[in-house]
Structure 1
């Protein structure tokens, strides 16, 4: 959705729970779960102005409206959104596309966090980085690396701390889509870099949301676009190679592409992944436990003895169970 206020500029000062250096724009693109903080200067003639939430495609519905009302104004708003022309371009943040006629788009990774977050960002600087690739696919249902999540039969945290559910069999899941309890092991107290790709060109963009952590956005890359037709010409640009649409074996075309400078990246817990594009995020695993990551569901298990030891012995547990018609 595009958020804008007729006749007013927006000064973006925060994304999700991260303070950023101010950026002045005409609108902000928001995907599911994303939040922004904006400042609005009330310097226009006294009146009522439409606040708009609309889809990028004007034919899509629904749309949302509210009214920015100046003191002593009573007339119904008759304002219009700013038109975007090549000679009078609109500035926006977090576009699902890299460029379009009449638009100047600022990618999420081009924003700078404030010095308030320096200590947190400093944890993810360094050369000892564990890198993982995750492909969001929608061939026969939503999957990550061809795996569709099946929830476990019992709580992951219950004694004896076993993982219960459907095993992900590599020989099957690496050849075709499969349904399993997808748990990814991550080392504790480590720098984790994730490269998240969106492989299916005919689908809409997806979001990546993580529980238990927020991550630094190091890069958001868009696919190559045909300037004549506006259609996607090539996914992932020329940066990432995959053997098939599942993209479970993704890797960099050139090793140096994985070396991304960590300056003052914004911190988020929810990120839009463009169709045919990819994003690079990084975080430090100092919060042990099982954590869900979705738009497409996946569970991350960060090793940590402190979590295991907090479960008392012989603690009552509940697992998966079925009721017959009589007991129901």
Structure 2
């Protein structure tokens, strides 16, 4: 597709999707995403919002396993952007992963680009979002892959309906890139104004006495509903509850799990969960509440901004009357991080034809600490401490903060042409440079002990893996200047979650806890607050892949590394050449690195 802009008439005609059937029973599903700015009004303020096809959330992509997908992105916004297909394996297709200046040049304003990828070997709920700083707050949507066996073949009772539940945030900023720019300089001036369910703020919010609209779901008594729950927020993990009902969690990150009954779903940014809800309560109206959690003091305390929608029974005698006050669930304390710890720890994989055995051989081991540090604004020496004007606070992996490389072409392109072209990337070390009590609460506030440990460095951080290597990674959250959890997302791969724990990881003690029988398989793993998680993955997808925290503040501050998987010995195990319509701008190298991203 020509990288220049489309005529206006053609752009209008392309706001559609189509399905082209193929002889083998699969199909090519096409969508056109026109990215524009529209005015939305909430909380008595008009805000210019960047969205796809004029809607928030953006259009759902619904396919059957084995289908091919083509998405034509027409950028009519003022921002450079790319789209990432979150959780899609992109096997031998790193070119379509959608990370600016890693896998492609960004799509400039008044330009267009087509993404092509397959929905093969995966079933369940994934999503798509802009992969430029903070724009994913409004440029996102759900991606549903249904089983191919028969009309509908789930390993659980067929639901009456499938309902997307997309948790997000409402920002009243017209330039969300401002949030990223502030975060990169540790200026904490920006915060969202409300939480949302399917872009509705809900009746906890009002302006001049006018209550905001809430998301509403009508239920038929006795029916079973499949909720496809997605956390598209930038800043918070959420607790989700429905008064008078329970969830049966059946999948996470497009991988089936053993059915797990709970009254609360804990979902971090980037994660998806599929959960059955049976409409078996007394006829009436019930609140569904999504509440962000956060670490307790001495961490910074952000405003608690929950949202709620309404589930209401139809055909229920004595229920569903307009004046009825819905029943509210009893919500947990927003500082109760152990609720999240136990929710994630109770998940196991379901025995299923797509269930993969856990590889027993281990080729490489990494121990990666996650936390904050600081770099001097000028020179090598400066006064430390988060309150110092001489430092910039950064987020780190093994005490190194990712820095945007100064490049004139995407790293994947350079790697494909000659792997030695990117030998200058700094290697992510196997272990952190210093060993200390990583979860010492006294390190959260600025003080003499913390100031000795916070100096760090910035670099374009990467780690190379030979094709087929089995890699064990232990992510250790730390208390350096904060005690947040960390939702770590690996592009192009799924990870077996072998174990998690509180406090500091101890290999001699904790390896015995590893679940090598039925661990959950995820693309985004939540590293618990002041704790650790052990994962294992197979480096079987050649390319340059992003590994990063899905909290936007941690990503903007540098909690990123590149995982580079080398080619295998055959054409079928090697990165293919770029697509013929791969996005290029000739010899246009006049953009500064930040401009590629913003």
Q: What's the TM-score, normalizing by structure 1?
A: 0.74
Question: Following superposition, which runs of at least 4 residues in structure 1 exceed 6 angstroms of deviation?
Answer: 315-320
Which among 541, 547, 560 is matched to residue 287 of structure 1? Answer: 541
Seen in structure 2, the aligned counterparts of structure 1 residues 211 and 320 have a Cα distance that, compared at 3 Å, is farther
Q: What displacement does 1:108 show?
A: 2.2
**Alignment-derived partner of residue 310 in structure 1:** 577
Q: What displacement does 1:118 show?
A: 5.8
Structure ranking higher on relative contact order (CA contacts 8 Å, 6+ apart): 1
Q: What displacement does 1:310 show?
A: 2.8
**Alignment-derived partner of residue 305 in structure 2:** 62
Cα displacement string for residues 231-276 of structure 1 (whole angstroms, at most 9, x for unaligned residues): xxxxx1xx34xxxxxxxxxxx3x27737834110111111211221
- Report the Cα distance in structure 1 between the residues aligned to 2:337 and 2:534, rounded to whole angstroms: 17
* Unmatched 5+ stretches in structure 2: 1-237, 295-300, 375-393, 435-454, 550-558, 593-598
**Alignment-derived partner of residue 145 in structure 1:** 398
Equivalent residues of 1:97, 1:222 under 8 A apart = no
- Report the Cα distance in structure 2 between the residues aligned to 1:174 and 1:290, rounded to whole angstroms: 25
* Unmatched 5+ stretches in structure 1: 85-89, 224-235, 241-251
- Report the Cα distance in structure 2 between the residues aligned to 1:36 and 1:96, rounded to whole angstroms: 20
Equivalent residues of 1:13, 1:38 under 8 A apart = yes
Cα displacement string for residues 140-186 of structure 1 (whole angstroms, at most 9, x for unaligned residues): 2111111111233131222334217664698xx94841111111011
Equivalent residues of 2:428, 2:462 under 8 A apart = no
Seen in structure 2, the aligned counterparts of structure 1 residues 168 and 322 have a Cα distance that, compared at 3 Å, is farther
Seen in structure 2, the aligned counterparts of structure 1 residues 212 and 318 have a Cα distance that, compared at 3 Å, is farther
- Report the Cα distance in structure 1 between the residues aligned to 2:545 and 2:428, rounded to whole angstroms: 21
Seen in structure 2, the aligned counterparts of structure 1 residues 255 and 288 have a Cα distance that, compared at 3 Å, is farther
| Matches for 1:15-164 after TM superposition, within 5 Å | 15-56=252-293, 60-72=303-315, 73-75=320-322, 76-82=324-330, 97-98=337-338, 106-116=342-352, 119-120=355-356, 122=357, 124-140=358-374, 141-152=394-405, 153=407, 154-158=409-413, 159-161=417-419, 162-163=421-422
Equivalent residues of 1:155, 1:318 under 8 A apart = no
Which among 198, 202, 218 is matched to residue 477 of structure 2? Answer: 198
Seen in structure 2, the aligned counterparts of structure 1 residues 302 and 317 have a Cα distance that, compared at 3 Å, is farther
Q: What displacement does 1:69 show?
A: 1.2
Q: What displacement does 1:195 show?
A: 0.3
SS in structure 1 at match of 2:488: strand
Q: What displacement does 1:16 show?
A: 1.5
**Alignment-derived partner of residue 229 in structure 1:** none
- Report the Cα distance in structure 2 between the residues aligned to 1:146 and 1:300, rounded to whole angstroms: 17
Seen in structure 2, the aligned counterparts of structure 1 residues 160 and 311 have a Cα distance that, compared at 3 Å, is farther
Equivalent residues of 1:13, 1:37 under 8 A apart = yes
Q: What displacement does 1:110 show?
A: 3.2
1:277 aligns with 2:555: no
- Report the Cα distance in structure 2 between the residues aligned to 1:299 and 1:319, rounded to whole angstroms: 25
Equivalent residues of 2:284, 2:326 under 8 A apart = no
- Report the Cα distance in structure 1 between the residues aligned to 2:264 and 2:487, rounded to whole angstroms: 19
Q: How many residue pairs get matched? A: 279
- Report the Cα distance in structure 2 between the residues aligned to 1:63 and 1:270, rounded to whole angstroms: 23
Q: What displacement does 1:119 show?
A: 4.7
- Report the Cα distance in structure 2 between the residues aligned to 1:320 and 1:165, rounded to whole angstroms: 23
- Report the Cα distance in structure 2 between the residues aligned to 1:260 and 1:278, rounded to whole angstroms: 13
Cα displacement string for residues 267-292 of structure 1 (whole angstroms, at most 9, x for unaligned residues): 11112112211100111111111100
Q: What displacement does 1:83 show?
A: 6.4
Equivalent residues of 1:109, 1:266 under 8 A apart = no
Seen in structure 2, the aligned counterparts of structure 1 residues 220 and 55 have a Cα distance that, compared at 3 Å, is same
For the aligned residue pairs, the C-alpha RMSD in angstroms reads 3.3
Q: Larger helix proportion, structure 1 or 2? A: 2
Q: What displacement does 1:194 show?
A: 0.6
- Report the Cα distance in structure 1 between the residues aligned to 2:251 and 2:345, rounded to whole angstroms: 13
- Report the Cα distance in structure 1 between the residues aligned to 2:427 and 2:361, rounded to whole angstroms: 31
- Report the Cα distance in structure 2 between the residues aligned to 1:215 and 1:34, rounded to whole angstroms: 13
Which among 197, 200, 211 is matched to residue 491 of structure 2? Answer: 211
SS in structure 1 at match of 2:352: helix
Seen in structure 2, the aligned counterparts of structure 1 residues 105 and 139 have a Cα distance that, compared at 3 Å, is closer
**Alignment-derived partner of residue 231 in structure 1:** none
